[in-house]
Amino acid sequence: MLLLTNLPYRLLPVLVLVLVLVLTMVYENMRSKSKSYVRSSSTTRPIQPLSLHMLQLFIHCFLSFYFLFLTVSEAVCNPQDQETLLWFSGNVSSPVSPLKWNPSVDCCSWEGITCDDSLNSHITNISLPSRGLFGNLTSTILSLHSLTHLDLSHNRLLGPLPPGFFSSLDQLRVLNLSYNSFSGELPLEQSFGNNGSIMFFPTETIDLSSNLLQGKILSSSKFLQGFLNLTSFNVSNNSFIGPLPSFLCKSSPQLSDLDFSYNDFSGFISQGLGRCLRLSILRAGFNRLSGDIPSDIYILSKLEQLFLPSNHLSGKISDDITRLKKLTSLELYFNLLEGDIPRGIGNLSSLRSLQLHTNYLTGPVPLSLANCTNLVSLNLRVNQLGGSLTELDFSQFKSLSVIDIGNNSFTGDLPEKVYSCKSLTAIRFSGNKLTGQISPQILKLESSSFLSLSDNKLTNITDALTILQGCKKLSTLLVALNFYNETFPSNKDLISPNGFPKLKIFGIGGCGLKGEIPAWLINIKSLEVLDLSVNQLVGPIPGWLGTLPNLFYLELSDNQLSGQLSNDIFQLKALMSQKSHDETDRNSLELPVYVSPSSVTTYKQQYNHMSSLPPAIYISRNNLTGSIPVEVGKLKAIQILDLSFNSLSGVIPDELSNLTRLERLDLSNNNLTGRIPWSLRLLHFMSYFSVAYNNLEGPVPTGGQFDTFLKAYFEGNALLCGGILLNPCMSPTQPTATVTTQDEDELSRTIFLGLGFGYFFGLASFIVGSLEAQVNQNQQIYTELD
């Protein structure tokens, strides 16, 4: 009996069937033996076979026992647990796909529900991630005392967690409420039993990340002191304040994963984290932590990830960090760290990611770094590092994919050994003092798609372009602020039709290059972003630029370009419809690009995706003449148009009002005349509009975005009036300015409309009068009939 009750009840049908078959076989066997015995010995009393009636009676008793047992063991889920679940479902909703929990069906078979195999079938697991659930988590769920796993992550649940959450769910082992909108503070409760002693819970994982939780997690609180078995604690992406709760390692020494990142913790990181001897992941980036990195972190021999970026940490990186032999990721960027990179950094042979950028680190790159042969990503940009790179043995970095050492003070030639890093996809050496020429050896980097060498002292642009066009996967090429005062190669055949087959971003501004816009650019059909600003380019803007099918960002400012604006330049397909721009590659760039429009010397704005760059045309500070073509109205996807500081004349085309996505329009410092079209009020996204220092006249439009523009945007136009200028426009009795063709057209339309309305109302009056006369006549007739 004990054996049977210990068996899972779902196996009992199989067991019964086996027993019935065995008994049947035994019965048949005994019958056959009985018959053979009778034939072989007629003098001996034959053995009586097992009675069929006895067999049937035995099977009947066994089946009765089985069904009695089955009635007990296969009962539906606990009624109280079912009622709790129904109450929970009544407090949440899912407009996309509601929970289909049918009260007439065993709740152990409901979606996301798991029960144990006990006689009472208690609920042990609720797993409903990413179900679009909206509502509150009420205290009724606290009656599920057998619950061991609760996963409601990636929903839209809100409000505070019920009081007594952990003390009631004292069997909970895994809790995942991440990516919701739960609010309130921790601690939720005091972890004391009835006798005043600390309660211990079996909880192993707590994930409360990406919610709206707030307040402090203080060492004086008893919350969390009962989680002796806790291995993972994640409260990232909330609004917690106060000191970092290093005390957790005292109450939960089994912790292996701690994540406090993306909160508002502040102050020094106190000692205590060194108690978590099993800690493999420590994340506390994007807070307001300050002071030195605590020394007890360096005794965590099992640590694999140390993530402390975007804080206010200061001091030096201790040499003791090289004791963390299992470290695979070290990210300390965006802090105030200073001093040298530890010389023994090469002892971290398991390191795959080293991110130390945007600090105040000095000195050379340690040669021992070459021992980190598993390195995949190396970022040291925006520090004060220096020295030559030629001594570092880059050939050891067989797995290196991304290297960024930009904005430092490295000197000497481009290191030849870097070309042996066959896995490199992204390289940034910009903002240093590197010299020499680009070597043909760079063609060994067959996987490279991002190359930034801007702001160095490289020479020989012709050879550089001839070589680089052979990099078949290159999609981003930034070589601005090099090749000073050289001449742009004009040979149309310099770039073959197969050259730069995947190039999308080409930046070569700030070089002071002489000559005209090179004709070979027409061969790079894949171009989407082109920056030729701050050079000495002369001649007209070639119309063939408008034939580049994917070009949506054109920067030609600060040159000596002349002639009229070609109609063709406003035929760029990628700027003619928003759909075209939306189809721009939205994949992340291998490294971000930093752009400050019209000034290549200071990159301020960071772009991580190609599609984040605003569709724009910058042609400011040149010598362009003539009028603004009406074809400009076709560029319906453009967001920025800057034609300032030229010698453009004529009126502001009314077609500009078609550019409904326009955010910045700068027409200042030209020779434009006429009035500001009132139709520009329809440009609801326009946050900047300047027509300063032209020869415009008439009233400044009011309403819409025009009520937000500064007076300075209109100064330098003596005949402008009204609006933000506050000087009244001349009355009709006063002498008026010369009537333009546009004014005459408006007057003609007004007269025509006036005559039309007069005729309409006259005809309407005649018809109404006739109808009234007829009605009066009918009324007289009806009176006589009465």
Q: Mean pLDDT, to the nearest integer, of 474-500? A: 93
Mean pLDDT value of segment 712-716 = 96
pLDDT of residue 742 exceeding 80, the answer is no
Residue with tokens 């049908």: 13
Hey, what are 608's tokens? 């991580």
Q: How do beta strands 113-115 and 123-127 pair? A: antiparallel
pLDDT at 735 over 50: no
DSSP letter assigned to residue 501? T
Q: Are 413 and 435 in contact (CB under 8 A)?
A: yes
What is the pTM assigned to this prediction?
A: 0.81
C-alpha 372/C-alpha 216 separation (Å) is 39
Strand partners, 672: 650
In which residue are the tokens 């082992």 written? 173
- pLDDT category at 402 given cuts 50, 70, 90 is very high
Given this model, what pLDDT does residue 204 score? 95
Helix 12-40, helix 52-73: angle, nearest 10: 170
The pLDDT confidence band at residue 761, using thresholds 50, 70 and 90, is very low
For 362-430, give the DSSP string: EEPPPGGGGG-TT--EEE--SSEEEEESTTS-GGG-TT--EEE--SSEEEEEPPGGGGG-TT--EEE--
Confidence of residue 208 (pLDDT cuts 50, 70, 90): very high
Return the percentage of the chain with pLDDT > 70, whole number. 79
Element (H, E) at 592: strand 588-595
pLDDT value at position 65?
44
Convert the pLDDT of each residue in 285-311 to its tens digit: 999 999 999 999 999 999 999 999 999
Cis peptide before 187 (omega within 30 of 0): yes
- Give residue 221's pLDDT: 67
pLDDT confidence bin for 56, thresholds 50/70/90? low
Query: Is the pLDDT reported for residue 765 higher than 70?
Result: no
Phi-psi label, residue 310: left if phi above 0, alpha if psi -120 to 50, beta otherwise: left
Q: What is the mean pLDDT of residues 599-607?
A: 59
Condensed to tens digits (0 to 9), the pLDDT of residues 411-422 reads 999 999 999 999
DSSP character at residue 342: P
Copy the structure tokens of residue 676.
């500001």
Residues 605, 606, 612, 618, CA torsion sign: positive
Over 50: is that where the pLDDT of 50 sits? no
- Least-confidence region, from 10-14, 180-184, 468-472: 10-14
Query: What is the pLDDT, as a whole number, of residue 572?
Result: 95
- Burial category of 72 from C-beta neighbours within 10 Å (exposed 0-12, middle 13-18, buried 19 and up): exposed
When mean pLDDT is compared across 137-151, 178-192, 395-409, 675-689, the lowest value belongs to: 178-192
DSSP string, 654-703: GGGGG-TT--EEE--SSEEEEPPPGGGGG-TT--EEE--SSEEEEEPP-S
Binned at pLDDT 50, 70 and 90, residue 523 comes out as very high
Average pLDDT over residues 374-387: 97
Tens digits of residue pLDDT in 429-463: 999 999 999 999 999 999 999 999 999 999 999 99
Structure confidence by residue, pLDDT tens digits, 122-170: 999 999 999 999 999 988 999 999 999 999 999 999 999 988 888 888 8
Beta-strand runs (E) in 66-187: 92-93, 113-115, 123-127, 134-136, 149-151, 156-160, 174-176, 181-185
Tokens matching residue 641: 């148009």
What is the band of 332 on the pLDDT scale with cuts at 50, 70, 90? very high
Higher pLDDT, 266 or 100: 266
pLDDT tier, 660 (very low <50, low <70, confident <90, very high otherwise): very high
SS3 748: helix
